[in-house]
Structure 1
Amino acid sequence: MQNLLNICEEHSLLNGYRWSPTKCTVISSSTNSTTYNLYNTNLRTAPTVKYLGLQFNHLGMDTRAHINNLKEKFNKSMHRIHQICARTNGFSLLLSTKIYKQFIRPKIEYGLSITSFKTTNFAALERLQDDCLRMIVGGFTNSSVKSLRVMVNLPSMVERWYTLNSKYLIRADTLPTDSLIFKIIQSNTRYSKINLSKNKNPIFQALLQNNSPISIYTKLTHTISSYRSNAIINSSEKMIQGCRSDLKLDPILTIPMTRKERRRILRWRMNWLPGGKPNCHCGGQMSRNHLFVCPAIPEAYWENIRRGFHNDINPIDAILKSLLTNKPKSITEKQNLIIKWQPLWTDLLNILFLVDQICHKTQETFVDEPDPGVLFYKWIME
């Protein structure tokens, strides 16, 4: 290394320019005590250096230090948007998640495409995103937000790494042959980090097997959508199985309803029963499964909702999955939808209202609310 520094020093003197030793840092491991100099000035050493927003050590990019730096940025930024009403009693969930996607997630994704992550690193990134969603919806530290991610069509950080890394690899493969990065890639061995990332990226591997004549970026879009949809369909998580797999915003975030109605539906979807699993009025323990056998729920509310499970999906989740995504246009279609949804939706909202009462263990805390589903029915008929 000192020989290279001497060459740089000699070149600068011959060509009339000068390096600044005070601006130079030698990245060195803690076990290396060697000192280096430039123009007879000792260069400072450091275990890590931040360059262009990324952390580097003597082995290359320092993933752990990079994630720790992301945490600091994330906490500051998230608290700022939390203060401007990106929270439960502020903006709507839909608007709050859009603010997160626009201003916070790009900070987490910076450098993601060229970083080599381990499983533990991905877990730390997922934790950052999940903490943000919990802050928006008011969840506890360990509350699951996996189903919420699906409802707002937000990919996991692992899926984002697969996506961004695939775009980077495609770009690297299509650069001019005289570009520096192209020559570096061509000189790499099959065990280099870029080739290893190709092998462990399922989206990129699926893309290589797609022989259709369409453009590479169109194939990439289709491959990403297919991968994410299959991840939802094949998930072993019960809460995710109850969500839609069409990679669109869930209708429960967009159709008109009161704030309390939407809150109850979201809590049901995420299995966030208030108070954990409190004792029911009937003496049992309230849970999603107990609800279908609970005598505290009037039989009249089950008149339009069948209690049995279908394909391991409970009937309330099945109803929520079948919600209409587009507003009806013709009068006949509107009338048919009212006939179908008015009794069904009213009963569902009444059941979730009773669950809310049972979990809070008192009826005095609930103020009068408008008739259930009124805003939804009005929206259909407009």
Structure 2
Amino acid sequence: MLNLTKLPTMTEKAQLLQAQFLLRSLNLPLDTLLSRLLPHVRLSSSNSNWYRLSKSSLWRQCQATADSITRRSIRQMSLKLRNETLARHRAAPSHTLLTHCRPTVCIDPILWLPMTQCERSRCLRWRLGWLPSDYSTVCPLHPNRSLTKSHAIQCLRMHHRLMMLETIDDPLSFLLNLLPTRRPKPTSKGTPWTIRWPATCTILFELDFLQH
């Protein structure tokens, strides 16, 4: 769910806040107590909390790549590290659903593009692997087959109806990844979506019907 909403994990959020704290401590007025203590707390022998916080992967990356650390550079580096983490998770065999989601950290357009509540629910359930739900559901059209995602793709002829190549494993997820990440301008043309989006909604409706 986090990859759909662009929300960081608790570890990533903690590292971001810690890096911002370290940056602020380096820019305090010279007459403040922490500023006076910095020459001492920055030493490894001090065993201070400041020194331990400075060993986070985010802070080390900021020091290694940026000439001068700013709040903006910290946020940019945090996003870069999150994209690298997402890429590693997508490459892992245990994260099958992530391989069919967007390869970069962003808010998935299915959360904000105009559509009905039922259509958004079906899109989200498809993304999360809840539609179809599990292997225990039998396909009403093929009683000898379980209603899995791979079977649903073949049963509902998704490649043909969405005009996708057969070499694409998950044509519906592939199409959802092509949705615009920014609100389209009034002058932009969305002609292909006038054909494919109704087909997408129809396929998800039929799949929801077969599951229930």
**What are the residue-to-residue correspondences of 1:271-286 with 2, within 5 Å?**
271-273=129-131, 275-277=133-135, 278-281=137-140, 282=142, 283-286=144-147
Change in 2 beyond 3 A, CA 1:320/1:170: same
**What are the residue-to-residue correspondences of 1:24-173 with 2, within 5 Å?**
148-173=1-26
Q: Which of 91, 99, 111 matches 1:253?
A: 111
Quote the offset at 1:299 in angstroms.
7.0
Q: Which of 49, 71, 80 matches 1:217?
A: 71
What CA distance in whole angstroms lies between the structure 1 residues aligned with 2:5 and 2:85? 15
Change in 2 beyond 3 A, CA 1:241/1:257: same
What CA distance in whole angstroms lies between the structure 2 residues aligned with 1:247 and 1:173? 30
Q: Is the 8 A contact 1:274 1:356 kept in 2?
A: yes
Q: Is the 8 A contact 2:158 2:171 kept in 1?
A: no
Quote the offset at 1:211 in angstroms.
3.5
Deviations 1:76-118 (A, max 9, x none): xxxxxxxxxxxxxxxxxxxxxxxxxxxxxxxxxxxxxxxxxxx
User: Aligned to 1:284, what secondary structure does the other structure show?
Assistant: strand
What does residue 98 of structure 2 align with? Answer: 240
Which residue identity is paired with 1:345?
W
Change in 2 beyond 3 A, CA 1:300/1:292: closer
Q: Is the 8 A contact 2:97 2:129 kept in 1?
A: yes
Change in 2 beyond 3 A, CA 1:329/1:299: closer
What does residue 315 of structure 1 align with? Answer: 171
Q: Is the 8 A contact 1:301 1:348 kept in 2?
A: no
What CA distance in whole angstroms lies between the structure 2 residues aligned with 1:279 and 1:308? 26
Quote the offset at 1:184 in angstroms.
4.1
What CA distance in whole angstroms lies between the structure 1 residues aligned with 2:20 and 2:162? 52
Q: Is the 8 A contact 2:86 2:104 kept in 1?
A: no
**TM-score of the pair, normalised by structure 1:** 0.48
User: Aligned to 2:20, what secondary structure does the other structure show?
Assistant: helix
Which residue identity is paired with 1:203?
L
The structure, 1 or 2, with the larger RCO (C-alpha pairs under 8 Å, 6+ apart) is: 2
Quote the offset at 1:162 in angstroms.
1.0
Which residue identity is paired with 1:187?
H
Structure number with larger C-alpha Rg: 1
- Which runs of no fewer than 5 residues in structure 1 stay unpaired? 1-147, 361-382
Q: Which of 46, 51, 61 matches 1:195?
A: 51
What does residue 148 of structure 2 align with? Answer: 287
Change in 2 beyond 3 A, CA 1:300/1:273: closer
Q: Is the 8 A contact 1:304 1:343 kept in 2?
A: no
What CA distance in whole angstroms lies between the structure 1 residues aligned with 2:49 and 2:158? 62
Quote the offset at 1:263 in angstroms.
0.3
User: Aligned to 1:252, what secondary structure does the other structure show?
Assistant: helix
What does residue 164 of structure 2 align with? Answer: 305
User: Aligned to 2:89, what secondary structure does the other structure show?
Assistant: coil
Quote the offset at 1:155 in angstroms.
1.2
Compute the RMSD of aligned alpha carbons: 2.5
What does residue 201 of structure 2 align with? Answer: 349
Quote the offset at 1:275 in angstroms.
4.8
Identity %: 23
Which residue identity is paired with 1:261?
E
Quote the offset at 1:301 in angstroms.
5.3
Quote the offset at 1:160 in angstroms.
0.2
Aligned length: 201
Which residue identity is paired with 1:180?
L
What does residue 40 of structure 1 align with? Answer: none
Q: Which of 183, 186, 197 matches 1:326?
A: 183
Which residue identity is paired with 1:286?
L
Which residue identity is paired with 1:155?
P
